[in-house]
Copies of this chain bind each other. A is one copy, B any other.
Amino acid sequence: MIHHHALRVYFADTDAGGMVYHANYLVFAERARSEALRDLGAPHAELMGQYGLILVVRGAEIDYQAPARLDDWLDVTSEVTDIGGATVRLRQSVMRDGRLLVVMTLRLGCLRLADQRPARLPQRWRAAMERMRQSGDAAGGREWGG
């Protein structure tokens, strides 16, 4: 299952090179996977408020293929590729009109806010992540989100 989140590029996202500032694709990715989790009934603020847990980015690989620009309407996809005890891997992409602009591979870890120690994902978030996991069958991944 590949989740889609659409967003617009504003001045705040760009830099003096006339393109989206490179760090901001990580911001776009955060928005997209937050909406994916929310759509699956596992919003981030609840993870913090009810469980004292937080999902943090532990690693990122970003491949910038083409720039996004002011006023672009972008499609940010999210799919989970691997789920461990306290770790989740995602592949997130930024596209414009079907053209791939940026590909990100992220490793998230679940931490206890109180002491920053790794913690297992609560069942509701784990279930949401499972549903975001890339389908391995011949039919390919289904698409959702909006």
A22 within 8 A of B: yes
Q: Main SS of the interface on chain A?
A: mixed
Segment of A57-65, A84-92, A120-128, A134-142 in the binding face: A57-65
Interface size on A, residues (CB 8 A): 42
CA A26 to CA B63, docked complex, whole Å: 14
CA A45 to CA B13, docked complex, whole Å: 13
B12 with A30: CB separation less than 8 A:
yes
A69 with B16: CB separation less than 8 A:
yes
CB within 8 A of A59: which of B18, B31, B59, B62?
Answer: B62
B61 with A61: CB separation less than 8 A:
yes
What are 12 A-B contacts defined by CB distance under 8 Å?
A11-B34, A11-B44, A16-B69, A17-B48, A17-B113, A23-B30, A26-B26, A56-B67, A58-B64, A59-B63, A59-B64, A60-B60
Q: Which residues of A contact B (CB under 8 A)?
A: 8, 10-12, 14-19, 21-24, 26-27, 30-31, 34-35, 38, 43-46, 48, 54, 56-64, 67, 69-71, 113, 116
